[in-house]
Structure 1
Amino acid sequence: MRHLRVALIGWGAISRRVVALLSERMRRDIVIVAVAVRDIEAPRDGLPEGALLITRPEELGNIDCDIVIEAAGRCSIESWGTVALTEGCDFVISSTSAFRDDALRDRLTALAEERDCQIIVPPGAIGGIDALAAAAVLPLDSVEHLIVKPPAAWRGTPAEASIDLDAIDKVTTFFSGSARQAADLFPQNANVAAISAMAGVGFERTRVTMVADPYATRNGHRIVASGAFGKLDVTIENEPLATNPKSSELTALSLIRLLENRVSPLVR
């Protein structure tokens, strides 16, 4: 049996859900060997048995690890990614909005090439990314990404400066711009926009619209692309994570799929 040794960066809603799902699915071939946290003394529930708590990227050098998964916010990408790749570990990023910084993306990509490992961008909360990336082999004319969420999912973001999230009674658009602008302004909510941008026509040409819908109960995405391949139109409505309405259940599920494919003889 193949075994995969995993380090998690961050112990927030996504990491906790991933660990819970691995336990439910009895995946003994996928072992969480370390969890990176800010405060090692803080009480935590649900930590994987035997996992080492670490606080500094340099500690990855003391851990036998195959793959490092970031789920701690884009401020953690450069420091943890640099060490993970230097140690020869593949590096999975959840906070993909960090890659709106072209220089950071280029530095980490060069390091991954030098150390013969990979930076992996999972599809996260959206569908059709495999088709969009395949379509981009030929010229793409346009990619548009619509994000629709309940008002509660936009709390703590710049949306609060544009609209009264407590008072809106109709579908309200509060942002329209490039994927780079979306990633700059909405780091938690626009990771998906970064994913579609990197799969398709890039951060400048990908157009993003953000909407608060008081009648929505799920986090919705619609990606529309056209080009030499034809036309793509993908719509998905995700259940939000119970512990974090800004994130979708599918974000954690996509990480489970990624990990299980790494140990499976059949990749799907």
Structure 2
Amino acid sequence: MTQAATARDRKMRLCLIGAGAIGQRVAEFVGQRLAQSMELVAIAERPGINVQPWWTGPVLSSPTELAGMRPDIVLEAASRQAVKEWGEAALRCARKFIICSASALTDDGLREALLTTAHTSGSQLVVPHGALGGLHALSAASLLPLDQVTHIISKPPAAWKGTAAETGFDLSNLPIATTLFEGSAREAASSYPANANAVVLSSLAGIGLDRTLVRLVADPAARRNIHEVTALGAFGALSFRIENEPMPTNAKTSDMAALSLVKLLESEAGTLVV
């Protein structure tokens, strides 16, 4: 019997960091679609956060508890701080650490520490494409020199509430589409960490955090979260536009962010990967 066949004889063990909107959505789909091949064995959350009634299994509060769960995959769906707190432990005890909070990787020291731990542990740090389904093309194009990459994010004004935009704009009374920020992806992810994880993804796939131009827009006419990515380079030119429905329980993100994670988990457990 091959090693791969032996691995499929048991369910893969998944630990989830974060029990918010994305985490709950992932847990729901894992139970519905992957019950035969994957098992959610624990959820990590901050002390005082109630994960019941939808989860009644083990709840972890410290990275030192991860190893005891013997995870194959640890998936972060919490915050950039969670990546910092749990990342190295996850990479040491699981073969893959998947992070939603890509903005954490704007911290060069943290990124290097995680990559070093992954190298020495023989594990992988995985950054899923999230709401940006066209990143495969951009990533392939980056094998040749790229001249420029631009990423514009337009969302309804309500999606920008609770962010740095509130200090300079009256989000409840914007008459037209208004640019809240224009600058590098690194700056965008630092100033708008909850909204701009996607720009880190396009940067990692393309020409990096400091060369990717980002524009963040509050548009009263928008009914969806819209991403427009364009790139020019030796490969030619590409552009893609994605309109994602906001998640009902969190307007700052979309169902596609959770669905992309589920698809990634399916590729880990399945026999046909597309």
Partners in 1 of 2:92 and 2:30 — Cα distance? 27
Residue in structure 1 matched with residue 23 of structure 2 by the alignment: 15
The sequence identity of aligned pairs, in percent, is 45
User: 1:229–1:58: structure 2 CA closer, same or farther, 3 Å change rule?
Assistant: same
Residue in structure 2 matched with residue 127 of structure 1 by the alignment: 133
**Cα displacement (A) at 1:26:** 5.5
Unaligned runs of 5+ in 2: 1-7
The root-mean-square deviation of aligned C-alpha atoms, in Å, is: 1.3
What aligned pairs does 1:134-153 form with structure 2 within 5 A after superposition? 134-153=140-159
Matched, 1:108 2:114: yes
Matched, 1:45 2:47: no
Partners in 1 of 2:173 and 2:117 — Cα distance? 48
1:107-160 superposed Cα distances (whole Å, 9 cap, x missing partner): 100110111110000001112111111100110000000000001100000111
Partners in 2 of 1:109 and 1:99 — Cα distance? 10
TM-score normalised over the length of structure 1: 0.96
TM-score normalised over the length of structure 2: 0.94
User: 1:120–1:55: structure 2 CA closer, same or farther, 3 Å change rule?
Assistant: same
Partners in 2 of 1:216 and 1:194 — Cα distance? 23
Partners in 2 of 1:184 and 1:255 — Cα distance? 23
1:227-263 superposed Cα distances (whole Å, 9 cap, x missing partner): 0111110100001111000011100000000000001
> Given that residues 10 and 72 in structure 1 are in contact (C-alpha distance below 8 angstroms), is that contact kept between their aligned partners in structure 2?
yes
Partners in 2 of 1:245 and 1:81 — Cα distance? 26
1:159-205 superposed Cα distances (whole Å, 9 cap, x missing partner): 11121100012111110000000011000101000000111000000
**Cα displacement (A) at 1:71:** 0.8
Matched residue of 2:153: which SS? strand
Partners in 1 of 2:68 and 2:181 — Cα distance? 44
**Cα displacement (A) at 1:34:** 0.6
Deviates more, 1:71-80 or 1:175-184: 71-80
Matched, 1:262 2:262: no
Residue in structure 2 matched with residue 237 of structure 1 by the alignment: 243
> Given that residues 15 and 73 in structure 2 are in contact (C-alpha distance below 8 angstroms), is that contact kept between their aligned partners in structure 1?
yes
> Given that residues 40 and 53 in structure 1 are in contact (C-alpha distance below 8 angstroms), is that contact kept between their aligned partners in structure 2?
no
Deviates more, 1:22-31 or 1:195-204: 22-31
Residue in structure 1 matched with residue 5 of structure 2 by the alignment: none
Residue in structure 2 matched with residue 215 of structure 1 by the alignment: 221
> Aligned residues, how many?
266
User: 1:43–1:82: structure 2 CA closer, same or farther, 3 Å change rule?
Assistant: closer
Unaligned runs of 5+ in 1: none
Residue in structure 2 matched with residue 73 of structure 1 by the alignment: 79
